[in-house]
Structure 1
């Protein structure tokens, strides 16, 4: 289910939400969810340790930095996840931008919330398939000190181009635009390490939510 409150947060809304704005957001959310369904793929990999070096077996992917080191400290496996709203959302957004820019802004925010809902659905499926395994928070290239440079390797390991139509631009962004890749650790013990906010995010200087005094909730 698309979380309208989260969409409004992506929009930068703080405090009480005007009824008119909430109603518009709910209308846009209903239109979006009727037309677009998030699609996702994931794979589970053994997590290899060589000193402080973390890598995923069989992929060539190294997960550098303290973000991965902290979150995966007690894990023996890691999940790579990709989720996208696909090119259909991009076309939908372009059409809305040509008709009504204010509504297009709402649609963009709803799209961000909807792709995160797709990631939540992937995690729910993962939990059903691997009962008894405990998950870390998911974290993405570009968060903390996990570099965006691992983005192409993540997509390659998931065969995301063929399976989801997902590609990585020269600037290491994902295409289609409303797409997410993430890493999730798996352990036999409950995981207490958590994502710890803006100070750990590589987007902290350019994030529009942070500039508006808000945050993404991570």
Structure 2
């Protein structure tokens, strides 16, 4: 797997490069110090994953991601930051970043990179637990779920998944069996071309 690392702290960048390459599974194609360098390096190397901080001089990671994703909607960007900031998380979701994890959750970095390469969305536990709060502050969705064949019952289930409910809790609230709830979820994921509950929650919030 080849990646780019962009962080305004060169010590952090070099440390990440050393540790990740030591795994034998990662090749770091280049290192940048700010968003402008991220855009330039991405155009030059087109890495499988761009691992990038958010707060940086000259251009932030979010600004860089917006430019990169505008030119290459398939770009896989994973934010690695120390900031558990609602505004940053929300914007990263809306931009289409593949993930947002905290630097202090370092042990999850390599698995997260692997998941992103496979096309999965990755958000640390601290971020996922905030989804229900984001959704409660969001007005009704404008996404046309009916066009994807989503029924009213399935939309209820999607909303409950996004609120963090388990299958048991969903079943209890909607007077269904757990087996029926699982079947509904499988159908929903297939219709929306999603892999799992986390992707479903992210999709619901983004839309």
Scaled to the shorter chain, the TM-score interval is under 0.3
TM-score (ref. length: structure 1): 0.22
Q: Relative CO higher for 1 or 2, CA cutoff 8 Å, sep ≥ 6?
A: 1
TM-score (ref. length: structure 2): 0.23
* Structure with a larger share of its residues in strand: 1
